[in-house]
Amino acid sequence: MTRLAILLGWIALLLWGVADASPLTIVDDAGRSVTLGGPPKRIMTLTPGHTEILFALGAADRIVAVDQWSDFPSAAKFKPQVAPFSPNLEQVVRLNPDLILSTHGGAEPLLPLERHGMRVIIFAPRTLEELYRNILLIGRIVDAEARAEGLVRVMRQRVAAVVAKVRDAPRPRVFIEVDGTDPARPFTAGPGSFVDVLVQLAGGANVAARSRTAWPQFSLEELVKADPDLIILADPLAPPNLDAPGLAARRPGWGRLRAVRRGAIAAIDANLISRPGPRIVEGLERLAGLVHPDRFQ
């Protein structure tokens, strides 16, 4: 018998012995029905959004591990880390979670662990309504329903305030750079992405809204043809640089762009608009302030 099999057998017996008599069944974003024996006591989060939701719901003490990008709040950085898309199963077993929160792509290697008492739930929201639903479901899971309802209520109010301010405003064409590793063909956010939703709510028109994928690449020719009024740099892997807009403006050929000629290039904290969690409304507010600075003083 392998060491992993021994560990799995031991954990299954432990979880069976402490199972709660009040089961809760959740339908996750993959359409899977997952039944929990009771409120989980040891949770592993494999996206920063999951981590931030649990902290916001007062359940940080139940987190036994996070993914390598979970860095907010600062206390999250002191949790054990697990690779989100290629997790070491022996490490997962040693951490002994009774619930793993993951997303599409990262959950598949972990599903066999469900035979041993570990539950895997996939939350992968693409809209604010789906995010609200997930927060409420996580609130039920950790027995923090009232706190989750209050959080969602405040988020809805802040989003509604932004939408009201830009309702009758003109819609400038916006290009969001989410990966500038290849400056000649930067990645942007297209339909089906959270960023695309936020651009629309912020009162902008996403120049990549009709792309075929959620994360298309734009060549210089495509970007010149789109000719955005505003370029926003939101690369989560780019090192902080106050001169990032200036560096982008000096890229070969970018002088042909309307946004560059007008000096309409700005940077935003990518984590605020790419992580489906409580801070997404702060990201929307900042994004709207860049798109319509006259309405957000």
Poorest-pLDDT segment among 72-86, 107-121, 257-271 = 107-121
Please provide the average confidence, as pLDDT, over all residues in the chain.
90
Mean pLDDT computed over 27-53? 94
**pLDDT tier at 2, thresholds 50, 70, 90:** low
| Digit-coded pLDDT (tens) for 184-205 | 999 999 998 999 999 999 999 9
pLDDT of 89 above 70: yes
Query: How many helices, marked H, and strands, marked E, lie in the chain?
Result: 11, 12
- Residue 169 is which amino acid? A
Question: According to the CATH classification, is domain 169-295 in 3.40.109.10?
Answer: no
Q: Which residue has better confidence, 160 or 21? A: 160
248 in helix, strand or coil? helix
| CA 134 vs CA 41, 68, 141: distances in Å | 19, 22, 10
Question: What are the residue ranges of CATH 3.40.50.1980 in the chain?
Answer: 3-143, 169-295
What is the domain class of 3-143 according to CATH?
A: alpha beta
Burial class (CB within 10 angstroms; exposed 0-12, middle 13-18, buried 19+) of 253: middle
Q: Is the pTM of this model over 0.75?
A: yes
Instruction: Tell me the C-alpha distance between 125 and 182, whole Å.
Output: 28
CA distance 241 to 244: 5
**Distance set, CA 223 to CA 54, 99, 198, 277 (Å):** 39, 44, 20, 30
Give the model confidence (pLDDT) of 232-275 as tens digits: 999 887 767 777 899 899 999 999 999 999 999 999 999 999 99
Could you give the percent of the chain with pLDDT greater than 70?
Answer: 91
pLDDT for 19 equals 44
